[in-house]
Structure 1
Amino acid sequence: MSVGLIALLDDIAGLAKVAAASLDDITAQATRAGAKAAGVVIDDAAVTPRYVVGFTAARELPIVGKIALGSLKNKLLYLLPAALVLSLLAPWAITPLLMFGGAYLCYEGTEKVYEALWPHHAHEHEKAVAAVDPNPQKFEDEKVRGAIKTDFILSAEIMAITLATVPEAPFWMQALVLAVVGAGITALVYGGVALIVKADDAGVALAGNSRPVSSLLGMPPRGLESSSRSYADRMTAPLTQGLGRGLVLGMPVFLKVLGVVGTAAMVWVGGGIIVHGLEEYGLPAFGHVIHSMAEAAAHALPAVQGAVEWLVSAAGSGLFGLLVGAAIIPVLQYVVMPVRRRLQRKAA
């Protein structure tokens, strides 16, 4: 996925250079910024499909489209101007806002783990913090809103990383780099998500098509007998039909795995944001522990030390994120929501 991101941003850079030589600096900066944000982009792509699971096939692409539009609004209408204003007027506010968003990601991810391990208690918690509306349209709208909220936090991290790569650039260049990266990453992530959620439908179509080459070329069928098929159809049909059956059988498993990856990504990214924020506020203990563990594991396995160091760092941030999320769940259920409901009754 990170290679695809870099390739996409390189293409954007190439198009911009052809259009206007004056944009060379902007596109180069955007490519570097996008590459640095690749880890968060992977998390975004892994998180989003779980919001589409459970809906009918006809609603999958419209839902992805709604989330993609919300993501683009997040980046270009809200986060881009907010990032520029904060960097100019209140740079001190960026870290606490990111930490607050990281805490939200920790809560969301931990809630999914809680639901998998203790479904009954998780159901009680869900009832306490948000009633599930049986109306299909309202349920879909709620899912879309939840996805856009999560995307907002991940997008904020992407935009913060992007802005950090061009701290000395002129204001107008910062704005254009943020816009290029935001639009490019949105297209990459949600284009990929659309392909993922429709892969099983494509598999059904491939598995049932005995004339793949003729269909691709728009040639009408000449009959139902196998002899009426072209040589190319007879040669390629077993391959395309096998691929189709593989997609149909494999996508449910892949989506489950992706759901697990998405949950892990939420607690990993959220925990990492908070750990880095604490370091900026003079509380480096958690970061030092995670870094020391990662270095020790990397030295123990020098052949793959880069991968091991990354995995241990991610696992340490994820564990910290789970602890933060586990602390938030009871506070939200037994303190925040009762107070909120009491205030709502008084207001009514």
Structure 2
Amino acid sequence: MAGASLLALLDDIATVLDDVAVMTKVAAKKTAGVLGDDLALNAQQVQGIRAERELPVVWAVAKGSALNKLILVPAALLISAFVPWLIVPLLMIGGAYLCFEGFEKLAHKFLHSKEKDKQHRHELIEALANPDVDMVAFEKEKIKGAVRTDFILSAEIIVIALGTVAAATFAKQAAVVVSIAIIMTIGVYGFVALIVKLDDMGAHLCKKQNATAQFFGNVLLAAAPKLMRFLSILGTAAMFMVGGGIVTHNIAPIHHAIELAAHATEPLGWLTSSLLNGIAGVFIGAFVLLCWSPLHTLFKRGSAKL
């Protein structure tokens, strides 16, 4: 009897773990849109840091990210336990914010000239070359900015992950959200560390006498900036698709229309759904930006008067 009970318990534990693994996988897919942007943003945050300080800065931001999640995960689980009706509104806000952030990037790209961006980069390089610049203060400012960015993106990831398992038991919710938090932190900052050192690895290989090593070194040197641009583009596109998908999923008429279009275009229904969610995300982002811009201007004027 005891043996049967133990086997039953082990089977229950295995079932729970399997459920958690499946739900974690689904949650990871849902949060992938934020992840692409998270990688690009955090890799960009360490630009301007001297090569020998890049990894310590990434490590400092990773620790800040872990602290962010120590605050956000319990907060999300408390919301789920005591005010679960807040999950859908938070998801909608998170989805709309993703669309807003994506559209703001597009607006910046089209409204700011390449000359201005080049000038800003040139000014940054000149400032770093100046021996009077306090590099410790500069580094701390970079870390603070990256941790603030991470807090917003981590909140989005956790809310999206929680939304995917809202109907599960509290224990499964906790297991999935904690798993996502750990996986995303290690995955993002491990990959960011790799990205920021790609050019150093390429330069190191180029110094080798071996022709193969030199070839791969040149490939890495050429690939590093292109990888950054690709991640940025991929992250922006994913923000529209994921953010738009979250919002449209909770607006029944639009959700049903997208589902009908997806069924009508099988076996490419998934592509139709993604494209329509992405288009919806662009319009949602534009709408939020139009609403936010005058409010932001008013807030700035009010703070200037104080």
Both structures adopt the same fold (TM-score exceeding 0.5) = yes
Residue 206 (structure 2) aligns with: 207
2:59 to 59, 65, 86: 65
Residue 267 (structure 1) aligns with: 240
Residues 161 and 68 (structure 1 numbering): CA distance in 2 closer, same or farther, change over 3 Å?
A: farther
Structure 1 moving runs of 4+ over 6 Å: none
* Structure 1, unpaired ranges of 5+: 1-19, 124-133, 211-236
Residues 199 and 43 (structure 1 numbering): CA distance in 2 closer, same or farther, change over 3 Å?
A: farther
1:55 paired with 2:23, answer no
Residue 43 (structure 1) aligns with: 33
Residues 248 and 289 (structure 1 numbering): CA distance in 2 closer, same or farther, change over 3 Å?
A: same
Residues 191 and 145 (structure 1 numbering): CA distance in 2 closer, same or farther, change over 3 Å?
A: closer
Residues 332 and 95 (structure 1 numbering): CA distance in 2 closer, same or farther, change over 3 Å?
A: same
Q: Deviations over 1:187-211 (max 9, x none)?
A: 123222222222222121222223x
* Structure 2, unpaired ranges of 5+: 1-9, 117-132
1:107 paired with 2:97, answer no
| Residues 67 and 147 in structure 1, CA contact (< 8 A), matched pair in contact too | no
The alignment's TM-score, normalised by the length of structure 1, stands at 0.67
AA aligned opposite 1:338? R
CA–CA separation in structure 2 for the residues paired with 1:62 and 1:143? 15
1:331 paired with 2:304, answer no
CA–CA separation in structure 2 for the residues paired with 1:72 and 1:322? 29
Aligned residue-pair number: 272
1:24 to 8, 11, 14: 14
CA–CA separation in structure 1 for the residues paired with 2:285 and 2:163? 23
Residues 173 and 260 (structure 1 numbering): CA distance in 2 closer, same or farther, change over 3 Å?
A: closer
AA aligned opposite 1:52? A
Secondary structure of 2:197's partner?
Answer: helix
Residues 44 and 259 (structure 1 numbering): CA distance in 2 closer, same or farther, change over 3 Å?
A: same
AA aligned opposite 1:150? I
AA aligned opposite 1:324? F
CA–CA separation in structure 1 for the residues paired with 2:303 and 2:26? 39
| Residues 290 and 316 in structure 1, CA contact (< 8 A), matched pair in contact too | no
Q: Deviations over 1:10-56 (max 9, x none)?
A: xxxxxxxxxx9985345323321221023344323321223432323
| Residues 106 and 321 in structure 1, CA contact (< 8 A), matched pair in contact too | yes
| Residues 109 and 264 in structure 1, CA contact (< 8 A), matched pair in contact too | yes
* Larger RCO (CA under 8 A, 6+ residues apart): 2
Question: In angstroms, what is the RMSD of aligned CA positions?
Answer: 3.1
1:85 paired with 2:48, answer no
| Residues 294 and 310 in structure 1, CA contact (< 8 A), matched pair in contact too | yes
| Residues 44 and 151 in structure 1, CA contact (< 8 A), matched pair in contact too | yes
| Residues 43 and 266 in structure 1, CA contact (< 8 A), matched pair in contact too | yes
Residue 16 (structure 1) aligns with: none
Residues 43 and 68 (structure 1 numbering): CA distance in 2 closer, same or farther, change over 3 Å?
A: farther
| Residues 68 and 186 in structure 1, CA contact (< 8 A), matched pair in contact too | yes
The alignment's TM-score, normalised by the length of structure 2, stands at 0.75
AA aligned opposite 2:52? A
AA aligned opposite 1:47? D
Residue 10 (structure 1) aligns with: none
1:183 paired with 2:182, answer yes
| Residues 245 and 278 in structure 2, CA contact (< 8 A), matched pair in contact too | no
AA aligned opposite 2:150? I
Percent identical across equivalent pairs? 31
| Residues 40 and 269 in structure 1, CA contact (< 8 A), matched pair in contact too | yes
Residues 178 and 313 (structure 1 numbering): CA distance in 2 closer, same or farther, change over 3 Å?
A: same
